[in-house]
Chains A and B, each alone.
Chain A
Amino acid sequence: MAAAKNTEHKVVLTLPDIGLSKAQINSLKKNFKNEVVTHLGGPEVLARRRIVVVVVVVIVFSRPKA
C-alpha cells in the first residue's frame, strides 16, 4: 500500500583544498564509486525491497585551513 520510494543518495564531500585538479577529482570519484542497496525493513521483515542507489559524489571545497 505504502509508496515505495527510490532515493538517490548524494554524498557531498567537504574536503579542504588538498590541491587536487578537476581531472584528478574525477578519477578519484570513479575509483571510489560504491553502490548502495538499501533493504527496507531488514531481512526478516516480509516485504523486502531492493533499491539501488548510486552514489553521486559532489565536491564542495571548504576554505583551506589557516
Chain B
Amino acid sequence: MLHESSSALGETERTDGLPLRSSPGGGLKVCLVGPPTVTDFEDPEVAESEAIRLIAEHAPIGVLSLAAVLEQCGAAPQIVDLNRLYYSYLRAPGETASKTDFCSYVAAELDQLAFDVLGFSSICSSYPLTIRIAEQMKRRRPGVPIIFGGPQASVVDVPTMKAYPFVDVVVRGEAEETLPALIAAIASGATPSGIHGITYRDGGRIVRAPNAAVIADLDAIPLPAFHLYPELRDCHYVPLELGRGCPFACSFCSTNDFFRRKFRLKSPETVIAQMRLVRDTYGITTFDLIHDMFTVDRKRVMAFCEAVIATGEQFYWNCSARTDCIDEEMIATMARAGCKAIFFGIETGSARLQTIVKKNIDLAEAATRIEATDRHQITTAVSLITGFPDETMDDLRDTVHFFVDSLRFDFAEPQLHILAPLAETPLESHHRKELVFDDILSDMSHQGWRQDPVDREMIQSHVDIFPNFYSIPTPKLDRAYLRELRDFLLNGSVRFRWLLVALHQDSGDVTQAFEAFRRWYAADPDRGPRPDLQESRYYASKTFCDDFIAFVRDDYAPRLARTPRVLHSILDYERALLAETPPPTEVTAEDQDISDITLVPKLTDGVVLTECAADYQRIIRCLRRKGDLRRIPRRPATIATRQHADKRLDVVMLSPLSAQLLKLCDGARTVSDIAGRLTPTNRTISAIPAEKVCMFGLEVLRQQGLIALHRDLAAKAG
C-alpha cells in the first residue's frame, strides 16, 4: 500500500523494516498521497461491488506523474493511494463500530513511513477528509512541511490556508515544473518566493504567487512512476494522459480553467510508446486515455488512431469527447483503433439550458453520435445533469427524455447527476451568496449514507472551501423530487431497462409514470421508501423492483396504459430475469446420442420456462426504432432462462416448435414418445417424419444446454 522509490536522503531503512537502497544524488523524501474517491461507499457491500472496485483501481496518475519528475530530480518520492488504503481498512478484521475511523487509520499508516515532505492531492468530494488527515499528520510530525495540490486545493488555496494553519503550501494547477522547484527550495532551506504557481506563508501572511505557465511540451513529462505502484499488476486498466486543456467554457465546469483552457496533446508516438511499455511490463492492454476533450482537433485524433492501427497491435482504450467534435468517420476510425468506451458530456436534454450553461451542443446531433457509437459497439457514457438554477419542469422532462432515449441503444449508459457547484466555476461564483446546505447532494459530493459528522461541521463552517457540498436553489424544481427521480431512473434502468423505455413510449413521458408510482406507494404503508429503507437504499433494493413491477401490473397497465399487452409481455420477461433460478448442477447425462429414441430428454437444472403474451424481441425492435407499440400482434411466445454458474444468464427465445418440444420434455417421456405427440403446424416440415423432426429439434436444445438426455430409469430398473 505504501511505496517508496529507491533513492533516499538520510535514513537508510524504512520504519516498516524493509531495506532501502541509498540514493546517488540524495534528495528529500517526499510522500505523495493520492485522493480518495471511494470513501463514499462505507457500506462494505457496496464498496466491494465490482463496479466500485473498478473505479478504485484507477491509478492516481496525478501524484504518479509528479513522482516520476521528482525521481528525475534526485528526490525520493513514495506513493500512498488512499483508495487502496480504504480497502485495507474495510477488510481489516474487527467490527466496523469498534474500528478507529478511517482518518486516524490513514494517519497511523502514514506515520509508519519516513519522509521529509508530505504532499496531498485533492478532489472536491473528499476534501474535508484530506484536510483532517493533514491535520493529524501535522500533530504527529510538526516539522514536516505539508503541501496541497490537485484540482480542489488549487482553486480554494487561500481560504484553505486561512482556515487550516497546518497547510503550509498549496501548489496550484499542473505541478510537474512547480513541485520540483518547491522541493528544491525546501531542501535548501530557501523561501519559496519567486516560484510561480504556489500559495505560501510568509510570516503571518498568505502570499499567492502568479500562476505558473502551462506545460507546453507534454511529451517531456515522463511515464507516471508506475513502478512505485505495484498494485498495477492486478488492475484491469491503466490510466494514461493523452493531453490536457479544454478550450470550451461551460459554466459548471472546473477542469477547463484548471488547465487554463490551453488544448494540448501528446504525440501519438509518446502515447503508443507508453502503452507498449505498460503492456510489456504489466501485461495490461486496456487504457483510460485521459483528456477532458480529446477530439477537439480532428486531424490529430485521426493521426493518433491511424498510428495505433498501423502498429498492428491490439490496444483497447476509452476517452472523452463532445458530440459536436466528433463525426461518423472519426467514430469508425476510433473503433478500429481499439476505442471501446467513450464519455459524452451531454449535460442537459434541454436546448434552452444548453445555451444558458454555455455547453451549446446540438441535441439532435448528439443523438446521432450516440447511435453511431452504439453501432460501432463503443460503450457510451451519456452524462446528464439536473438541478441547474434556471431549470424548469419542461427542461427536466427534456433531460429525462434524452436519458430514456439513450437506453434504446445497448451500448449507451446514461448517467444522471445532480449539479454540484464546483468551486470557482462561473456558475458557483455567480450563485455563491445563495448556496444552501440542504443535504440533497450530488454524487459529486455525496459522502455515502454515513457522512462523517466532523466533515459536516467543516462544510457548514466554510462554504468558500466546500461549495460542492451545497446546492444552488432551483426555484422551479423541488430538489427532493429531483433526487428521488434520479434514484428511480438510475436503478430502474439497471434493473428493467426496456420497461422504462416502454413506459416512456407508452405515456410519452416517463416522469408521469414515476409520479403515478409515487402516488401508488403513498397509499400503501408496505410499499415504497420507509423508515427502515430510506430513499436511496430503497431504490437500490430488490423491494423497489418488486414494488415497481406490482405497480405496473396492477395499477399502471390496467388503468393508464395505452398498450397494456405490450407492458405485460415486458413484465413477464423482466420477471423471468429477476426470478431466482436455481443454480445449475453438473450435467450427468449418460448418453448423448439423440438417435437413440429410447433416451429420456429432461430440462437441465437452472432452466425455467416463461410464457409471454407477445414476441419480446419484436417489442424491443419496435422500441428501438420508436415504432407504434399498438401494432405489436398478440403472439404468445415461450422463453427459457438458464442460469450459468458464473452468474451469466442466458435467455432463449424459443421458436414455437422448440417451445412445443421443450414442454414435452417432462423427464418421463422418451424421444420416441415425444415424437408421437409433436404436432408441427408448419407445412414446410409436415412431410418430414416426426421422429426425425424431433431428433433434430432435441439436438438443438441439447446443444443450447436446455436439456440433457438420460436413460429411462424405469427401463434401467427393469
Name A's B-contacting residues (CB within 8 A): 1-4, 6, 11-13, 15-16, 18-20, 24-25, 27-28, 30-52, 55, 57, 65
Contact = CB atoms under 8 A, between A and B. Distances in A.
Interface residues of B, number: 55
Nearest to B685: A27
A36 B617 CA distance: 10
Contacts of B687: 24
Nearest to B498: A50
Given A1-B288, A18-B692, A36 B650 contact: yes
B651 A36 contact: yes
B688 interface: yes
A46 B494 contact: yes
Contacts of B692: 18-20, 24
Nearest to B235: A1
A15 B592 CA distance: 11
Interface string B614-636: 00010000000000000000000
A16 B236 CA distance: 45
Contact of A28 (B288, B542, B653, B688): B688
Given A3-B316, A36-B704, A57-B700, A42 B647 contact: yes
A48 B696 CA distance: 33
25 contacts: A1-B237, A1-B340, A3-B286, A4-B340, A11-B703, A15-B699, A19-B692, A20-B692, A28-B688, A34-B653, A35-B653, A36-B652, A37-B651, A38-B649, A39-B651, A40-B648, A41-B50, A42-B647, A42-B648, A43-B495, A45-B647, A48-B494, A49-B411, A51-B410, A65-B595
Residue of A28, A41, A49, A50 with most chain B CB atoms under a 10 A cut-off: A28
B652 A43 contact: no
A34 B615 CA distance: 12
Contacts of A24: 685, 687-688, 692
A34 B652 contact: yes
Given A3-B340, A45-B647, A34 B655 contact: yes
Contact of B685 (A4, A31, A38, A55): A31
B697 interface: yes
A18 B595 contact: yes
Interface string B284-300: 00101000000000000
B654 A34 contact: yes
A2 B286 contact: yes
Contact of A55 (B340, B595, B648, B704): B704
Contacts of B340: 1-4
Contacts of B577: 39, 43
Nearest to A50: B410
Given A15-B595, A28-B696, A4 B379 contact: yes
Interface string B458-488: 0000000000000000000000000000000
Given A1-B54, A27-B685, 4 more contacts: A4-B377, A15-B594, A15-B595, A39-B577
Contacts of A43: 495, 577-578, 649
